[in-house]
Amino acid sequence: MAGKTAQPPRDPLVAVWFALGLLVAVLAGVAAGVLGRLGGEHLALAVLTGFGAFGGTTTLVVLVISLFKR
């Protein structure tokens, strides 16, 4: 029994919270890209700005979910 560890209970709402977090990340990415484009950036740079905001928000969502899952 030395190799067995207690598994935390599975939370069925984690997928729902993750989906909501991805929706927020998409909205943040679109808003950052649109604001970048309106601010005078080239289209490619505005798209990269949106992808950066999406990635940062997704990372934050995953970290918050893992924090509250403990």
| Mean pLDDT by groups of 10 residues along the chain of 70 residues | 68 89 97 97 96 97 88
pLDDT of amino acid 11: 78
- According to DSSP, residue 19 is labeled H
Q: How many CB atoms lie within 10 A of CB 46?
A: 19
One-letter amino acid of 65: I
pLDDT of residue 3: 66
Q: Indicate the domain borders of the chain.
A: 14-69
Q: Tell me: the pLDDT tens digits for 29-45? A: 999 999 999 999 999 99
Instruction: Count the neighbouring beta carbons within 10 Å of the beta carbon of residue 62.
Output: 14
| pTM given for the model | 0.81
CB contact set of 36 (below 8 Å; sequence gap of 6+): 45, 46, 49, 50
DSSP 6: P
